[in-house]
Amino acid sequence: MNRVTALWRSSPRAFLLGLGTIGLAAAVTVGSGADFTSTTANPSNIFTAGTLSHSNSKDGLAILTAGNMRPGDTATGTVVIQNTGSLSGAFSLTKNVTVDSAPSFATKLTVVISDGAVPIYSGTVAGMGTIALGTFAAGATHTYTFVVTFPDSGPNGADNAYQGKSTTVTYDWTAAS
């Protein structure tokens, strides 16, 4: 700082002329295009959210109903579930007993649920909770068969307690991503 002060005091005109020359040299260097440049672009980057939805061939309807069952009777029904979204999803099936009589008919009835030839549940209607069905790819279709049986406990009125009994079940299909 002392040199700059000394130059300024000795010849302010020479000092300013020196600064101007340095500034002019810097401007010529920058303005001359003495450097290289290159530019590329990646336009139109678009981002969209996928969809997760499914169809139920019996949406709002019963998969099966059976009236006047006697011990040993069986009823069968099918439903088609399809992933109609653009994303894969983890599907599940949940049973809800909405009406049951005493003694519980839902604990007596058995159900076997199969995805094609693959059983996914076998047990009492009451015993079923939520079943993980696996991941369905977008567009995947699965046909589920439900077979409900009123097991015969034997002769001499062993099942008399279930005469006139009924149960109502709701099956809920859920998909999550």
All structural domains of the chain, each given as residue ranges with its CATH number in brackets, are: 2-31 (no CATH), 54-154+162-176 (2.60.120)
Q: What is the predicted pLDDT for the residue at 35?
A: 80
Quote the CA–CA distance of 60 and 58 in Å, as a whole number.
Answer: 6
Residues in the chain predicted with pLDDT less than 70, given as ranges, are 1, 3-12, 14-21, 23-34
pLDDT digits (tens, 9 = 90+) for 102-113: 999 999 999 999
Q: Judge if pTM exceeds 0.85.
A: no
**Which residue is it, tokens 């169809």?**
55
69 phi/psi in degrees, rounded to 5:
-70, 145
Q: What DSSP letter does each residue of 29-85 carry, written as one string?
A: HHHTT-S------------------EEETTTTS-S----S--TT-EEEEEEEEEE-S
Alpha-carbon distances of 165 from 102, 149, 157, rounded to whole Å: 8, 14, 15
The dihedral formed by the CA atoms of 151, 100, 59 and 133, expressed in degrees to the nearest 10: -60
Rg (CA), the chain: 40
Q: What DSSP letter does each residue of 86-108 carry, written as one string?
A: SS-EEEEEEEEEEEE-SS-STTT
Q: What is the predicted pLDDT for the residue at 96?
A: 93
Instruction: Answer yes or no: are the C-beta atoms of 173 and 54 closer than 8 Å.
Output: yes
**Which residue is it, tokens 């040993």?**
72
